[in-house]
Chains A and B, each alone.
Chain A
Amino acid sequence: MSTSTTKSAIPESNYKAGADGLLLEVEDLFVEFHTPEGVARAINGVSFDLRQGETLAILGESGSGKSVTAQAIMGILDMPPAVIPSGAIRYCGQDLLTMNQEQRRKSRGPEISMIFQDALSSLNPTFPVGWQIGEMFRQHRGMNRSDAYAQAVRLMERVAIPGAKDRVKNYPHQFSGGMRQRIMIAMAIALDPAVLIADEPTTALDVTVQAQIMALLAELQEERQMGLILITHDLGVVADVADRAAVMYAGRIVARAGIEDLYAHPAHPYTRGLLESIPRLDQKGQTLAAIGGLPPNLTRIPSGCTFHPRCRMAQDICRTEEPALRTVGNQQSACHFAEEVLNG
């Protein structure tokens, strides 16, 4: 199972990572959805960067904007209703948002690729999986059918699908959930992308299968030195694999930290609330410290700090003034009382 690739057909990449391995920079990104009920502000000024070989976790609950961020980077948002009023997404120094459709299409796959949450609805049920994996090679490298199938078998072997040769012409419904997710991963890594975005890759899977998939992702990242963006709401998975994490709430990044600091010394009340509200296998308490209330409706984001209606520490200033993301200790937090949360 050597990873020898067909040298002849690989086009030269137009992109070179920055000197310090900088691959991706998202700067002050805004995304809005124009709906009949009003403008839903899904992302409100999100900035982060990603380097080679690094795993960045984007944590958040449903509706926090984490998947929209991923779709904006991939350029697969439906526009309209989505609008990107401002911001920049720079890949190797070039702004993806100012590129034309053709340039972006060419970047999807060889440069940036994505694994979706629900493998069954992301795969086409009417084509064999080998055909779908091979499509990457046919479209981007102009390979013929039989070569593309051979590549598909190689990739299926790489993601440890037993009997890859015999199963390459099977259809998605003939595979189990874990195997389908492996096929999605095979498609995503087919063209050796520099950035891989995994949007809730294991949410639909059982824990034993989740462990297999996460181990596979970690192995592939190590092998190819990809920059991995892991989008999830599962604090356990993040603790196991991420180097850094950004916590999103109502379309903003409210906290950003190295993974150990995030768990040991959370500097934002929301992060802290999240950590306290998960029942843990290694502790048994009687009452969970839940965060009261609900995440806000994105068409009516609260004034000031978006978290203030649910925050235990909210003061008058939180209702009127939006806190900026600022450095506290060796992490960042968007809270007026970040120091107190950190040292509390």
Chain B
Amino acid sequence: MADVILKADDLYKHYPIKGGVLRTTTGHVKAVDGVSFELHRGETLGIVGESGCGKSTLGRVLMRLEEPTSGTVNFDGVDMYSQGGSAMRKLRRDIQIVFQDPYTSLNPRKTVGDIIGEPFEIHPDVVPKGGRKAAVKELLDLVGLNPEHINRYPHQFSGGQRQRIGIARGIALRPKVLICDEPVSALDVSVQAQVINLMEKLQDELGLSYIFIAHDLSVVRHISDRVGVMYLGRMVELGTEEEIYQRPTHPYTQALLSAVPVPDPTMRGKREQIVLSGDVPSPANPPSGCRFHTRCFKAQERCSVDDPELMDRPDGAGAHRSACHFAEPRVIVETIDVSDLVPDSRYASTDVIDEDAFTDDDGVAPADAATMADRSHAMGESEGPLDRPNDIHTMIDDDPAEKRDPRA
């Protein structure tokens, strides 16, 4: 885990604002404004934040789809932004992206085979020409789609299936790092769970590292090992999943967590909610000092002048990186007893069993194992993995007519 595969150092991405008759630059939108972090091999780093906080721009800069204004990214020992031409092309094989919107990120005029096979066209030495079709079919199978559907077009698939196509394209070159920009935000809950499970399975099988960008805190918690919280182009808190969700020290993280509705009616009115006033300020003109001070419930004089650094600050049980002068741990989400929801053994049997879906080794880090055991009681999972339903990523898409009307 300690092995760093990607290290971003002080990344900036400013977009010029042109104005006036002469189209002179009148200001800058500071989309990413000094972000540093590292990604370890085989881990998932979640990036959360509200819309406009710069998380998607960060993903694009990391892919070098956008050139950063300044800063460096060290990818597996190589300085990414100093690479040119063929060296960069070679590097791109190792870092790929899955986009948010499965409806616009696939070319409607190309077949699924062409879309997933395109990376092989660009990097012809990965798979010899004759073997491409077989490679694409293998990929389709890997992401839970029917390999027979290789000649279909994107509109013949549902949103969840399209996102699987996007993932297949992303993993076609066997990258080391996959950047996922809101990969499940456009999907319905039941389908969202299928795609999340698929991504976890692929990570185990292919040893991928994920940068998982999303605004849904529950999804990020579920999939991430470490989490970074962004606000107005800055990383305000960075730590392990447990540190961020159980001992958050930054007031913004605390407010964000408290705003997530918990799907349990018995918790109504019992949860502490920090309701932030106002909206996120414009990234073209961010507040002085700490950027969050205009909405912060803890703000004092000092916050409007003195910009807090993202550094280790005590969180009660240890220390993790937080950018607040008054960093203090606060318990937001209470673990509750939901033992009523004991999974039913009958649910374990189904006619669409995917045998590979369950290996007991889920890649749980030892640190997590204790917490897992701890919570497994509350989750009623004590009866073992047999009680879990099996049809997690098997699709029912055998019937060609089964496709949903895109307008439905």
Residue from the list B189, B194, B259, B403 in contact with A278, Cβ < 8 A: B189
Are the C-beta atoms of A281 and B256 separated by less than 8 Å? no
Are the C-beta atoms of A211 and B259 separated by less than 8 Å? yes
Chain B minimum-CB-distance residue to A273: B190
Are the C-beta atoms of B381 and A297 separated by less than 8 Å? no
Confirm or deny: B119 has a beta carbon within 8 angstroms of a beta carbon on chain A.
Answer: no
Are the C-beta atoms of A260 and B265 separated by less than 8 Å? yes
The answer for the CA separation of A262 and B265 in the assembled complex, in Å, is 9
The answer for the CA separation of A259 and B262 in the assembled complex, in Å, is 13
Minimum Cβ distance to chain A for residue B193 (Å): 3
Residue from the list A162, A239, A288, A298 in contact with B392, Cβ < 8 A: A288
Confirm or deny: B134 has a beta carbon within 8 angstroms of a beta carbon on chain A.
Answer: no
Are the C-beta atoms of A292 and B279 separated by less than 8 Å? no
Are the C-beta atoms of A281 and B346 separated by less than 8 Å? no
Q: Mark A105-140, 1 if CB is under 8 A from B, else 0.
A: 000000000000000000000000000000000000
Interface centre among B190, B217, B378, B405, by most A CB within 10 Å? B190
Given contacts A280-B218, A284-B241, contact A233 B188 (CB under 8 A): yes
Are the C-beta atoms of B50 and A206 separated by less than 8 Å? yes
Confirm or deny: B301 has a beta carbon within 8 angstroms of a beta carbon on chain A.
Answer: no
The answer for the CA separation of A286 and B196 in the assembled complex, in Å, is 10
Are the C-beta atoms of A276 and B343 separated by less than 8 Å? yes
Residues of A within 8 A of B218 (CB): 236, 278-281
The answer for the CA separation of A210 and B255 in the assembled complex, in Å, is 12
Are the C-beta atoms of A297 and B379 separated by less than 8 Å? no
Residue from the list B215, B358, B372 in contact with A284, Cβ < 8 A: B372
Confirm or deny: B327 has a beta carbon within 8 angstroms of a beta carbon on chain A.
Answer: no
Q: Mark A278-322, 1 if CB is under 8 A from B, else 0.
A: 111111111111111111011110000000011011000000000
Given contacts A40-B405, A215-B275, A286-B362, contact A236 B263 (CB under 8 A): yes
Residues of A within 8 A of B350 (CB): 292, 312
Are the C-beta atoms of A295 and B401 separated by less than 8 Å? no
Minimum Cβ distance to chain B for residue A286 (Å): 4
Chain B minimum-CB-distance residue to A264: B340
Are the C-beta atoms of B191 and A294 separated by less than 8 Å? yes
What's the dominant secondary structure at chain B's contact region?
A: loop
Interface residues of B in 220-251 (CB under 8 A from A): 221-223, 241, 245
Given contacts A208-B256, A240-B268, contact A312 B388 (CB under 8 A): no
Are the C-beta atoms of B397 and A294 separated by less than 8 Å? yes
Q: How large is the interface on B (under 10, 10 to 19, 20 to 34, 35 or more residues)?
A: 35 or more
Which stretch in B15-23, B168-176, B329-337 binds the other chain? B329-337
Confirm or deny: B93 has a beta carbon within 8 angstroms of a beta carbon on chain A.
Answer: no
Q: Mark A32-73, 1 if CB is under 8 A from B, else 0.
A: 000101001000000000000000000001110000000000
Interface centre among B222, B388, B401, by most A CB within 10 Å? B222
Are the C-beta atoms of A298 and B408 separated by less than 8 Å? yes
Are the C-beta atoms of A263 and B263 separated by less than 8 Å? yes
The answer for the CA separation of A135 and B166 in the assembled complex, in Å, is 46
Interface residues of B in 153-193 (CB under 8 A from A): 158, 160-161, 188-193
Given contacts A281-B257, A286-B362, contact A207 B215 (CB under 8 A): yes
Residues of B within 8 A of A85 (CB): none
Are the C-beta atoms of B222 and A284 separated by less than 8 Å? yes
Given contacts A179-B279, A235-B263, A297-B402, contact A282 B336 (CB under 8 A): yes
Confirm or deny: A11 has a beta carbon within 8 angstroms of a beta carbon on chain B.
Answer: no
Are the C-beta atoms of B408 and A278 separated by less than 8 Å? no
The answer for the CA separation of A179 and B280 in the assembled complex, in Å, is 12
Minimum Cβ distance to chain A for residue B310 (Å): 21
Are the C-beta atoms of A289 and B221 separated by less than 8 Å? no
Residues of A within 8 A of B346 (CB): 312-313, 340, 344
Known: A208-B50, A278-B189. 5 other contacts (CB 8 A): A207-B256, A262-B265, A280-B218, A285-B381, A290-B191
Give A residues with C-beta under 8 Å from B. 35, 37, 40, 61-63, 162, 176-179, 206-212, 214-215, 233-240, 242, 259-260, 262-265, 273-295, 297-300, 309-310, 312-313, 340-341, 344
22 pairs, A vs B, C-beta closer than 8 Å: A63-B404, A177-B51, A207-B256, A208-B256, A209-B50, A235-B263, A236-B218, A239-B263, A260-B265, A260-B266, A263-B265, A274-B189, A277-B189, A279-B196, A281-B218, A281-B260, A283-B338, A289-B193, A289-B392, A290-B193, A291-B194, A294-B160
